[in-house]
């Protein structure tokens, strides 16, 4: 199953990062995120990390104050993402392309981004 989107949401249900691998209009995205977030936030920690929503299966994981939706788990401070939204996106772009996981080596993911910073 391909990845259709990756969303990061905080505990209040506000979107903090979103990448879609299929095109949805702004309204569709808005509605989708609202519904998913409502479903996931209502779940307790000991329930399983999968939620069915329409034709999507959402795999989510809560880490600290953030919900990573679609199997991206991690250790992230919400503010770091907020202040460096583009960087978080760049990393995601290294990891996931065409809805497929293409790179999982942290060295390979980070090196282009670090190089870009250096050149800057």
Partner 1 sequence: MEQLKTIGRELAMGSQGGFGQSKEFLDLVKSIGEARSKAEEDRIVLSEIDILKRKLLEPDIPKRKMKEYIIRLVYIEMLGHDASFGYIHAVKMTHDDNLLLKRTGYLAVTLFLNEDHDLIILIVNTIQKDLRSDNYLVVCAALNAICRLINEETIPAVLPQVVDLLNHQKEAVRKKAIMALHRFHRKSPSSVSHLVSNFRKRLCDNDPGVMGATLCPLFDLISEDVASYKDLVSSFVSILKQVTERRLPKSYDYHQMPAPFIQIKLLKIMALLGSGDKSASEIMYMVLGDLFRKCDSSTNIGNAILYECICCISCIIPSPKLLEAAADAISKFLKSDSHNLKYMGIDGLGRLIKISPDIAEQHQLAVIDCLEDPDDTLKRKTFELLYKMTKSSNVEVIVDRMIDYMISINDNHYKTEIASRCVELAEQFAPSNQWFIQIMNKVFEHAGDLVNIKVAHNLMRLIAEGFGEDDDDADSKLRLSAVESYLQIISEPKLPSLFLQVISWVLGEYGTADGKYSASYISGKLCDVADAYSSDETVKGYAVSALMKIYAFEIASGRKVDVLPECQSLIEELLASHSTDLQQRAYELQALLALDARAVESILPLDASCEDIEVDKDLSFLNGYIQQAIESGAQPYISERERSGMLETTDYHSQDHHEVPSHALRFEAYERPKPSSVPTQASTELVPVPEPSYYSEAHQPISTSSVSERESSEIKLRLDGVKQKWGRPSYQSSTSASSTPPQAANGTSSHPDVGVGSSSLKPRSSYESKKPEIDPEKQRLAASLFGGSSTSRSDRKSSSGGHKPAKGTANKPPKENPIPVQPPPDLLDFGEPTATSVTATDPFTELEGLMDYSSQDGGSTDVMGLYSDAAPVTTTTSVDSLLSELSDSSKGNPGTYQSQTSKGPNSKEALEKDALVRQMGVNPTSQNPTLFKDLLG
**Which residues of this chain interact with partner 1, rule CB under 8 A?**
12-19, 23, 26, 29-30, 33, 43, 46-52, 54, 72-91, 93, 97-98, 100-117, 119-120
Tokens, residue 116:
């870009």
Q: Which is nearer to partner 1, 4 or 81 (CB)?
A: 81
Name which of 68, 83, 76, 77 is nearest 19 in CA terms: 68
CB of 63 to partner 1, least distance (A): 8
CB of 4 to partner 1, least distance (A): 13
Q: Is residue 28 packed enough to be buried (19+ CB in 10 Å), middle (13-18) or exposed (0-12)?
A: exposed
């Amino acid at each position: 199953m391909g990845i259709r989107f990756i969303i990061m949401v905080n505990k209040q249900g506000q979107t903090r990062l979103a990448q879609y691998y299929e095109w949805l209009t702004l309204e569709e995205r808005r509605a989708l995120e609202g519904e998913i977030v409502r479903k996931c936030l209502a779940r307790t920690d000991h329930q399983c990390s999968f939620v069915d929503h329409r034709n999507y299966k959402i795999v989510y994981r809560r880490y600290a104050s953030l919900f990573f939706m679609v199997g991206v788990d991690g250790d992230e401070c919400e503010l770091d993402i907020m202040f460096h939204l583009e960087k978080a996106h760049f990393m995601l772009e290294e990891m996931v392309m065409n809805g497929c996981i293409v790179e999982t080596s942290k060295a390979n993911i980070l090196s282009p981004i670090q190089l870009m910073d250096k050149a800057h």
